[in-house]
Amino acid sequence: MLATSSQNDLLRMIQTIGVPTFAMDVLDDDSLPDGAFRFAGLNGRLEELTGLSISQLCGRSPTEILIPARAALMEHRCRTCVQLRGPLEYEEELELRGIRRWWRVVLAPLFDPTGRIVRLMGTVNDITDQKSAEQELLHTRELYRGVLDEHHDLISRFLPDTTLTYVNAAYARAMGRPAHELIGSRFARWLADLERDRVVALFQEPRSETGPGPGPISFFNENALINKSGELRWIRWHNVALADHGGKIVGYQSVGTDITEQRRAEEGLRTARQSLRETIDSISEGFALYDPDDRLVLYNDNFVTDTPHLADFETPQGLTFEQILRAGVTSRQIVNDGIRSDPERWIAARLRAHRHPPETPVELRLANGRHISVAERRTRDGSIVCIQTDITRLREQEAKIRESERRLKVILDTAADAILTIDGKGLIRDFNKAAERIFGYPAADVIGRSVELLMSKETAAKHQSYIDTHVLTGVNQVIGIGREVRGKRADGSFVDLDLAISEVSGGEVLFTGILRDITDRK
């Protein structure tokens, strides 16, 4: 159970999660309205991302790890998650290892069996590419062991009205009362209120000593007993009817096994599974887990949304990846290039990529116009985690950018004046057709080279200092000031030019120069 496990177990379990993950303990602190927070662990994925190790984080608060402003913001979000008693999702831009990227963090509370929030689990996803890029998300494999401590059997005999006539020492110890105090009393008085009527009715039903088969009547039941200290103990009983010579049932002998720890483990398991389900359902991407036999065993609603051909099946549970894939091809929900011409070849290639996941995600195009990035990862036990990210908006934006670049190139190439763009290092980025005509260089020969190639030695010697001064101080010596210069052609000859320079705002340092041949005017 993630909520109540020891730190070693917690660290082992979160290491199985396929996306960067961390856990924080929620501590009782009377000085804070919603408790204090300490890092409890992180997985290898997050270590790679941040450069921080488990030993650096575990047991320390955000204020001990982060800068004050960032620590205060993280503690505020942790408190908000505790107050909501549900998942909290937020996005922020961070610089990790010298690279600024956008991340989506989902904080989810983990509850103990009493409903108290004892831990927060966070998953971190890189959403830099229009905040929708692929992620490897949450894969978790929870191992639960049924706990059934071996106890001495509880043995009792009682009348059909539940009056005890014999109890052994183990029974007496379990009830916290001496045997003589129990004998002669009805055990029904120590049953939980909700159980009493049901259990009493079991032994008062009309029964004959022999049932439909050979041998005495026997049956099993489970019920809770309340011992002297008020503790509720769950017992599984094997009851055998005792009859007189006439075959009338006059009592029962029961052998009971204490299954309280098993019951608690099952309840904890249900709580942990519910927490896991809520965490997976809170993920904005599609999540699926295929077992070592390649059958779908765990998935969230977003996976169903991103896989419309699942509608062909009554339930996705237990389907193989190949069944799902073939349904998508047959129903023409998947429309990647190559499917129509040779569907079997495309299916075979996709199956290979699924079973031997590549480093880069696979992209699917759906008939409804959506683009889905599929990142897959094989786990140690042979299972496969699948994260599906909708990158439709990203692809639409890329198409718009390509169209914008095409239109800009048309404008530049049809302009009468020479237009070129350089960066902060003086390297040529753009060189239009008019510039080719004036300088005698094809664009391919100058792009990426220093603009000083197009200048006289005297001008070139001063040029980079103008750029450096402007970038460092903001002092403007040439930008926005029209002036006449001499340009150097590919053949070594010079041309008189009218030059106007402007700075491109936003993003990296870029400058645009517009040049007009004024040889005739000279």
Local structure of residue 448 (DSSP, 8 states)? T
* Number of domains into which the chain is organized: 4
What is the distance between the terminal CA atoms of the chain, rounded to a whole angstrom? Answer: 85
Quote the pLDDT of residue 5: 61
Residue 264 lies in a domain: no
Q: Are 435 and 453 in contact (CB under 8 A)?
A: no
**Do 348 and 447 fall within a single domain?**
no
CA-CA distances (angstroms) from residue 514 to 25, 418, 468? 61, 6, 20
Partners of residue 157 on adjacent β-strands: 166, 253
Residues 20 and 83 in one domain: yes
> In terms of domains, do 324 and 252 share one?
no
Q: pLDDT value at position 146?
A: 25
Contact 276, 358 (CB under 8 A): no
- 118 is a domain residue: yes
Helical (H) or strand (E) element with 497: strand 494-504
- Residue 44: inside a domain: yes
**Sheet bearing 384-390, strands edge to edge:** 296-299, 286-290, 384-390, 371-378, 362-365
Q: Which of 79, 106, 126 is a domain's end point?
A: 126
Q: What angle do CA 434, 439, 444 make, to 5 degrees?
A: 80
Domain for residue 366, yes or no?
A: yes
Q: Clarify whether residues 176 and 250 are in a common domain.
A: yes
Is 419 in the same domain as 388? no
Output the CA angle 10-14-16, nearest 5 degrees: 130
pLDDT score of 145? 27
Nearest to 21, CA basis, from 30, 13, 32, 29: 13
Largest CA distance in the chain: 136
Are 17 and 118 in a shared domain? Answer: yes
Q: How far is CA 40 from CA 58, 98, 415, 431, 509, in A?
A: 5, 26, 62, 56, 43
- Same domain membership, residue 432 and residue 508: yes
Residues facing 26 on adjacent strands: 37
Does the residue 186 lie in any domain? yes
Write the DSSP assignment of 330-398 as a string of letters: HTT-B--TTTTT-HHHHHHHHHHHHHS--SSPEEEEBTTS-EEEEEEEE-TTS-EEEEEEE-HHHHHHH
Helices (H), 28-118: 44-50, 54-57, 62-65, 68-84
Indicate whether 115 belongs to any domain.
Answer: yes
Amino acid, single-letter form, for residue 491: D
Distance CA 87, CA 280 (A): 10
Distance of CA 260 to the CA centre of its chain: 34
User: What's 216's domain CATH number?
Assistant: 3.30.450.20
Domain extent, residue 25, equals: 7-126
How many Å apart are CA 310 and CA 329, to the nearest integer?
12
Asked whether residue 18 is domain-assigned, the answer is yes
pLDDT for 498 equals: 86
Say if residue 22 is exposed, middle or buried (CB neighbours under 10 Å; 0-12, 13-18, 19+). buried
**Strands of 418-423's sheet in order across:** 428-431, 418-423, 510-517, 494-504, 483-488
Residue 464: inside a domain: yes
Of 328, 361, 392, the residue that ends a domain is 392
**Along the 522 residues of the chain, how does pLDDT read in single tens digits?**
555 566 677 778 878 888 888 888 988 765 554 458 998 888 888 888 778 888 888 888 888 888 898 889 989 999 999 999 999 998 888 776 677 778 888 999 988 888 899 889 998 887 776 554 444 433 333 322 222 223 468 989 999 999 999 988 889 988 999 989 999 999 998 888 888 899 999 888 665 544 444 456 889 998 888 888 888 888 999 999 998 888 889 999 999 988 888 888 877 777 777 777 777 777 888 999 999 999 998 888 889 989 999 988 988 889 999 999 999 999 999 999 889 999 999 999 999 999 999 989 999 999 999 999 999 999 998 999 999 999 989 888 888 888 877 887 777 777 778 888 888 888 988 888 888 898 899 989 999 998 888 888 887 777 777 777 676 765 565 666 678 888 889 898 988 888 888 887 766 778 888 888 888 776
